[in-house]
Amino acid sequence: MWQEDYFCCYKIVKYILKNTMKIKHNEIEITQENPFEHCKLERKQYAEVLSQIVELYNDGFVLAINNEWGSGKTTFVKMWQQHLKNKKFNTIYFNAWENDFDSNPIVAIMSELKTLTTNDNKALFKSIVAKGATITKNVLPALLKAFAEKYIDTKVLVEAIENTTKGATEILENEIKDYAKKKQSIVEFREELEKFIAETENPHPLVFIIDELDRCRPDYAVEILEQMKHFFSVPGFVFVLSIDKNHLAASIKGFYGSESINTDEYLRRFIDLEYSIPAPSNESFCEYLYSYYSFDEFFSSPQRAGIGEFQYDADQFIKIATILFNDINATLRQQEKVFGQSRLILNFFNNQSYTFSHLLFFLVFIKTLKIELFKKIESQSFSLQELSDAFSEAMPKDIRHFYGVNLVYVQALLLHFYNNSRSIEKQEQFYKDVHGKPEIMITSKLESGIRTSFESCLRDVHGHRNYSDIKLTYLLRKINLTEGIV
C-alpha cells in the first residue's frame, strides 16, 4: 500500500514541476514601446494621471502609492516607470526589500543615483559622495552608538565605562563638534545633490521609485524614510513610495516599540500626496485569469464537447468565482492563487468525468481563504443544517442580481455529497413523514433572495441517476492532491 501512495505522490510532484506555468501567474511582460500592452486591468489611465502630477509639481515631493499587498503595485510601478522613460523622464527603481541587508540606506540610494552619472557630472557626483561620507561617518564611540540605538547590554556598559580613558566632558565636547560638522555636511550634501540633478539637463524631475518598503526590516524602513526627508528632499527630486500603509505602520510601531504611536501623523511628515490604484472590474479580472490559465483546454476539450451536462461548466465556474471574489474584496494575488490551484486540480479529472465546476471552485476558494470552514467540512463537523447555513453565509447577502449560476443548486449538491461521505450511522434524513407526505427538514437562507426553491433543487439532485453514490471526498481528494493524476 505504501508503495502505491508513494508512486501517487511522485506522479503529482512530477506533474507540478513540469506544469509550473499552469499554477503560478508569471510576471507580465513589459515592452519598451508600449509598457501597458499586456495589462488587463486598464491601468494605463492611472499612469497618465500620475505622470501629469509629477510633471506639474517638479519642485520635488513624495508620492505614496498605497494599496494592499497582492494588488499588483509592483507590476504597476514598473510599467509606469517605463511609461515615464518613454516621456524622457530620468527614473530609478529601487527594491528596498532586496537591499535591506545593508545597514545604511544612503549607500544603496547613492549607488542607484550613480547610474545617472556622465562624463560631465562625474566630478560633481564624487563631491556628493564625499559629503555623504561625512554624514554617514560613525562619529560616536561604539558605546554611545549602541545606547542611541537601544541595543545596549548592561554588562557591556559596565565594562566599557571601566575601560574608557575619556571623561564624560571630553566625550560631550567631541559630540558637539561632530554634530555641527554633520549638520553642515547635510546642507552641503543637499546643495551638491540639487546641482547634480540640475546638470542632468532634463526638464522633468527625477523620479525615484522605492518599492517593497513595507516588507523591509523595521529599522531599515524607518531609516529610508528619515534619510529621504533629511538628505534627499531637494527640488527636482520626486520619491514614489509603493507601499501597503497598514504594514508599514506595523514596522514603524515595531521600530519605536510602541503600539500607541500615531503612524498616520508620523507618515504625514514624509508623504505629500497619497494615491490608491482603483481596483479593476472583478468580472473582467476573473475572465482574464480564466483565459491566462487556459481553462478552456479542459472545459472545451473535444472529449467534453459532446456531453450535454458539461456544456455550462465553464460559464458556471467563472460566475461563481465572480460572486465569491466580489463579496470578500479579495486581492489580485489571492484570486490568482485560487485560479491557479483550480487549474491544477482539473488535471486530476478524466475529460469525461463530472467536475461540478461551481462546487469545486467554492471548495478551492474556502480552502485558500476560509480554511476553518474547509476543515469543518472536511472533518464532517457540521450537521446538514449547520452546513447549509455556513454555505449561505459564505455567499453575498444579496444574490438576486447574479445570473448564470444557481447557488441554491450548488448548495443542494454540497449537502447531498457531504451526507453521502458520512458513515451510514451518521447520515441524516433530508425529509420527515408528515401525515403520509414527505416534508423537507433542511432550510436554505438563500431562498429569501431568489426565486429558486431549495427543496426542488434537492429533489433534482437526489433524483439524478448519476449522483446517488457520489461522495464529497470525490472532490476533496483531488483538491488535497491525494489522488493520482488521470
**What pLDDT score was predicted for residue 486?**
52
pLDDT band per the 50, 70, 90 thresholds, residue 152: very low
Provide the grid cell at 360.
469545486
Domain closes at, from 275, 302, 332? 275
Q: Are residues 258 and 390 in the same domain?
A: no
Q: Are residues 259 and 306 in the same domain?
A: no
Strands (E), 222-359: 237-243, 273-275
Look at residue 126 and tell me if it is in a domain.
Answer: no
Q: Are residues 254 and 296 in the same domain?
A: no
**What pLDDT score was predicted for residue 268?**
92
Q: Are residues 265 and 381 in the same domain?
A: no
**What pLDDT score was predicted for residue 4?**
47
CA distances from 262 to 8, 179, 217, 250 (A): 54, 29, 19, 11
Cβ atoms of residues 299 and 269 within 8 Å: no
**What pLDDT score was predicted for residue 329?**
74
- The range of the structural domain enclosing residue 48 comes to 43-121+200-275
Residue 209 to residue 53: CA distance in whole angstroms: 15
- Sign of CA pseudo-dihedral 288, 293, 294, 296: negative
List the helix and strand counts (H, then E) for the chain: 22, 7
Q: Domain containing 244 — which CATH number?
A: 3.40.50.300
Segment 145-162 shows an average pLDDT of 44
| Residues whose CB is less than 8 angstroms from the CB of residue 70 and which lie 6 or more positions away in sequence, other chains included | 331, 332, 333, 334
Cβ atoms of residues 40 and 293 within 8 Å: no
- Residue 274: pLDDT over 90: yes
Closest CA to 325 of 317, 67, 27, 480: 317
- Residue 171: pLDDT over 60: no
Q: Are residues 230 and 362 in the same domain?
A: no
What pTM value is reported for the model?
Answer: 0.72
Mean per-residue pLDDT of the chain = 83
Angle in degrees, 0-180, between the axes of helices 313-328 and 282-292, rounded to the nearest 10? 130
CA distances from 78 to 36, 84, 129, 157, 282 (A): 10, 10, 28, 48, 23
Is the pLDDT higher at 264 or at 155? 264
Look at residue 388 and tell me if it is in a domain.
Answer: yes
**What pLDDT score was predicted for residue 434?**
81
Residue 213 to residue 126: CA distance in whole angstroms: 27
**Range among 116-125, 167-176, 371-380 with highest mean pLDDT value:** 371-380
**DSSP string of 210-239, one letter each residue:** EE-GGGS-HHHHHHHHHHHHHTS--TTEEE
Provide the grid cell at 287.
475572465
- Residue 339: pLDDT over 80: yes
Look at residue 127 and tell me if it is in a domain.
Answer: no
Q: Which long-range contacts (CB under 8 A, 24 or more apart) does 162-166 make?
A: 166/141
Q: Are residues 247 and 314 in the same domain?
A: no
Is the pLDDT higher at 355 or at 160? 355
Q: Are residues 351 and 452 in the same domain?
A: yes
Provide the grid cell at 252.
514603524
What is the CB-side half-sphere exposure of residue 160 using CA atoms within 13 A?
A: 14
Domain closes at, from 239, 254, 275? 275
Closest CA to 144 of 116, 172, 105: 172
Segment 306-314 shows an average pLDDT of 92
User: What is the radius of gyration, based on Cα positions, of the chain?
Assistant: 30
- Residue 207: pLDDT over 70: yes
Cβ atoms of residues 274 and 66 within 8 Å: yes
Collapsed DSSP state (helix, strand, coil) of residue 369: helix
Cβ atoms of residues 483 and 345 within 8 Å: no
Q: Are residues 231 and 311 in the same domain?
A: no
Provide the grid cell at 280.
479593476
Q: Are residues 352 and 449 in the same domain?
A: yes
Q: Which long-range contacts (CB under 8 A, 24 or more apart) does 149-156 make?
A: 150/257
Q: How many separate domains does the chain show?
A: 2
| Pick from 7-11, 211-215, 475-479: least confident | 7-11
- Residue 31: pLDDT over 90: yes
Look at residue 24 and tell me if it is in a domain.
Answer: no
Provide the grid cell at 128.
556628493
Look at residue 28 and tell me if it is in a domain.
Answer: no
- Residue 158: pLDDT over 50: no
Look at residue 387 and tell me if it is in a domain.
Answer: yes
Interstrand relation of 431-434 and 437-440 (parallel, antiparallel or unpaired): antiparallel
Q: Are residues 224 and 297 in the same domain?
A: no
pLDDT band per the 50, 70, 90 thresholds, residue 284: confident
Provide the grid cell at 150.
537601544
Is the pLDDT higher at 449 or at 262? 262
Residue 206: exposed, middle, or buried by beta-carbon count in 10 A (0-12, 13-18, 19+)? buried
Cβ atoms of residues 445 and 395 within 8 Å: no
Domain closes at, from 248, 275, 302? 275
**What pLDDT score was predicted for residue 420?**
96
Render pLDDT for 411-458 as a digit per residue (tens, 0 to 9).
Answer: 999 999 999 999 999 999 998 888 778 888 999 988 764 556 889 999
| Pick from 174-178, 286-290, 313-317, 431-435: least confident | 174-178
Q: Are residues 364 and 400 in the same domain?
A: yes
- Residue 24: pLDDT over 80: no
Look at residue 144 and tell me if it is in a domain.
Answer: no
DSSP state of 103: S
Look at residue 75 and tell me if it is in a domain.
Answer: yes
Segment 107-135 shows an average pLDDT of 84
CA distances from 125 to 120, 146, 165, 238, 245 (A): 10, 32, 39, 18, 33
Render pLDDT for 208-222 as a digit per residue (tens, 0 to 9).
Answer: 999 999 999 999 999
Q: Are residues 80 and 218 in the same domain?
A: yes
Provide the grid cell at 477.
481528494
